[in-house]
Structure 1
Amino acid sequence: MAPNDPPPTLENSTPPPVDEQDPGRDTSTALNAVIGGVVGIVLSFVPLSPVLGGTVAGYLEGGDTDDGLKVGAFAGLVALLPIALVGFFVLVLLVGGTPAAFGILGLVGLFFVAIYTVGLGALGGAIGVYVEDEF
């Protein structure tokens, strides 16, 4: 120890905690999910577009497969919102004033569309994490 060096203290001798993510990466799961959901909405004319949106979200998120599945499912939920609103509007125009038929058709349609967008978004999230890890 040199004569001018300060004495070692506890804060000088312990390294700072290491974050689980990459040191230079500051990501937000919600922001990545919104970006992936918007990509899925914009590319909605492409078949299986929730996979593309989930892939973008998973790529941006990084981490492990569980992180990709989570952010991809959230991206699918973001993409589900405008699809559900348009579907509701079309259902009102087609069914009209019968509330029982409206409710049953609406719930069945929402169920299948939710499985499609959220499931494929989660799959895309896992693919995005894999691509980010490999390349």
Structure 2
Amino acid sequence: MKRYVTTLFIILIIVKCSANKNDIYTSKYKDNYKLKVIDSLTYYYKDTLFIGRVHDIQLIGNKILISDFFLKKIWLFSKELNLIKTIGGEGRGPGEYTYPPNIMYDSNYIWLTTGRIIDKYNQNLEFIER
């Protein structure tokens, strides 16, 4: 009886493992976005480049938030590309970053995230909590 159960078990394993399943799913994606540059942003201050490299950019209402890779700052611009405010900088305290933050938002708050750190701001980029 033991031999019969063992043989049956081995046969079931072989049959199950050799079943020809096609687990590949394909997706039909059509890239239908056509972007057109209508304005550009190069911000200088006293003959030096003000923004290092864009890490993340978000359009929130009529404001533009840019996460700067090199300076670890967040730049807040109006829709007309006028600088409203900058926050951040390199460091480990509240509102400071060792890596450029990613930007997430909803209708009430803006969250800047780096790894396990999440900083919460209001829509005017005033710090609320870490």
Please give the range of the TM-score, normalised by the shorter of the 2 chains.
under 0.3
- Give the structure with the larger helix fraction: 1
If asked which structure has higher relative contact order (CA below 8 Å, sep 6+), I would say 1
TM-score (norm 1): 0.19
How does the TM-score come out when normalised to structure 2?
A: 0.20
> Whose Rg is larger?
2
